[in-house]
């Protein structure tokens, strides 16, 4: 029996896995100690649980547990990585390179650093949203202290060439940070193979709780040092003060353990479901465009533009399916996604895009329901669109001169 509404917005957040909830419950009630209380068993039990989780998370990315610093989420991790490096290494240089399609947590932090006198290069990407090595290499200067490139894009699913970027950064002696939030659990992530020095993670994208994240900070070759952005108590080796969220950390650890357990089967299952969804839409609808790389993309991501249909209108026409659109609603206007603009998608097509994000609990039945309802809605909306009719009649809409009354 199909349960509605169908959730296909797994890039935004994921439901907490029942096994994760079960692992967390004791740490709200019986094991409630502060992990920094070193004088009694309540504190020791909490600290022990935190260290277990640190190892579980480190294991997912091929790191040492001592290289994991807990934060409140990926936004804080990204802030700590960029601002921490900028402050600590400003005597070495003032130039930072970030990808143009990064998450706002990276872009807005970079824009803040610009106001502090740092030179920021917002690196363009190719038509698939991928960073090109030659463009990156040309952007590097004597003053470059940090490169920040996401492992996989949250909107279009494109996976960046992480090993090559890491190799280049290491050769040049530049610190390499990656926001790997979307990659964990979908593709293998290895900080050694990637030569990454800083890596941002969050629990709520991998079926863990919200409000807990981590930053991997390399300890040797090179040892990366960061200036903290929060003070008070010197927790997490002085990198991030504040009482640790023990239940959240335990949940994050359990979620990471499940990721490792499912990594050999889950990406393949998601890929098959995603392919079924894409093929189903393509078979029944013309004038559709896949956004992002056709092959080097996350197995659970499908971002499609349906020409002559407003993304917002389409979302309203499929109320039983939770997806997101290529327009970001700001307080005053409806702007097309900056990611789609960065890969050269025109404004009209950008406004017509929908992101389908599949996950652990997505079923074949849900995919078939999504195909059926999306096709119905697109056809209905296109019937109401004179533009679609004109395009079908072979009229080049770019040459039409519209008159205002």
- Dist CA 277 CA 272 (whole Å): 9
- Dist CA 50 CA 102 (whole Å): 30
Contact 54, 68 (CB under 8 A): yes
β-pair partners for 148: 98, 177
* Spatial CB neighbours of 359, under 8 Å, sequence gap ≥ 6: 7, 10, 14, 270, 300
- Dist CA 270 CA 272 (whole Å): 5
Q: Which of 329, 334, 384, 397 is catalytic?
A: 329
Contact 186, 360 (CB under 8 A): no
Structural tokens at position 200 = 């941002």
- Alpha carbon distance, N-terminus to C-terminus of the chain: 52
Structural tokens at position 374 = 């999306």
Active site residue 62: no
- Dist CA 246 CA 29 (whole Å): 11
Residues forming the active site? 329
């Amino acid at each position: 029996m199909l349960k509605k509404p169908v959730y296909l917005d797994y890039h935004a957040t994921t439901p907490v896995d029942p096994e994760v909830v079960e692992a967390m419950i004791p740490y709200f009630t019986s094991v409630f100690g502060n992990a920094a209380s070193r004088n009694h068993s309540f504190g020791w039990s909490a600290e022990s649980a935190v260290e277990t989780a640190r190892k579980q998370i480190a294991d997912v990315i091929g790191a040492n547990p001592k290289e994991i610093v807990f934060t409140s989420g990926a936004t804080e991790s990204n802030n700590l990585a960029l601002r921490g490096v900028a402050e600590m290494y400003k005597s070495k240089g003032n130039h930072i390179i970030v990808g143009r399609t990064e998450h706002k947590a990276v872009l807005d932090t970079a824009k803040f650093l610009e106001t502090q006198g740092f030179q920021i290069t917002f690196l363009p990407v190719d038509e698939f949203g991928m960073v090109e090595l030659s463009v990156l290499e040309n952007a590097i200067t004597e003053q470059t202290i940090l490169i920040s490139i996401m492992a996989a894009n949250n909107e279009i699913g494109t996976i960046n060439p992480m090993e090559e970027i890491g190799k280049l950064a290491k050769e040049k002696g530049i610190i390499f940070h990656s926001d790997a939030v979307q990659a964990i659990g979908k593709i293998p992530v290895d900080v050694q193979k990637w030569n990454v020095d800083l890596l941002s993670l969050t629990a709520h994208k991998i079926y863990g709780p919200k409000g807990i994240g981590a930053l991997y900070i390399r300890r040797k070759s090179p040892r990366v040092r960061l200036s903290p952005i929060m003070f008070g108590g010197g927790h997490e080796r002085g990198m991030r003060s504040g009482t640790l969220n023990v239940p959240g950390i335990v949940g994050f650890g359990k979620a990471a353990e499940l990721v490792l357990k499912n990594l050999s089967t889950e990406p393949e299952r998601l890929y098959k479901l995603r392919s079924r969804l894409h093929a189903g839409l393509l078979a029944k609808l013309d004038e559709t465009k896949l956004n992002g790389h056709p092959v080097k993309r996350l197995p659970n991501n499908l971002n499609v533009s349906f020409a002559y249909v407003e993304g917002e209108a389409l979302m309203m026409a499929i109320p039983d399916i939770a997806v997101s659109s290529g327009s970001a609603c700001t307080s005053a206007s409806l702007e097309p996604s900056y990611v789609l603009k960065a890969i050269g998608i025109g404004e009209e097509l950008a406004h017509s895009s929908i992101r389908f994000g599949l996950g652990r609990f997505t079923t074949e039945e849900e995919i078939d329901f999504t195909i059926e309802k999306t096709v119905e809605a697109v056809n209905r909306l296109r019937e109401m669109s004179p533009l679609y009719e004109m395009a079908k009649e072979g009229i080049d809409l770019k040459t039409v001169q519209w008159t205002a009354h």
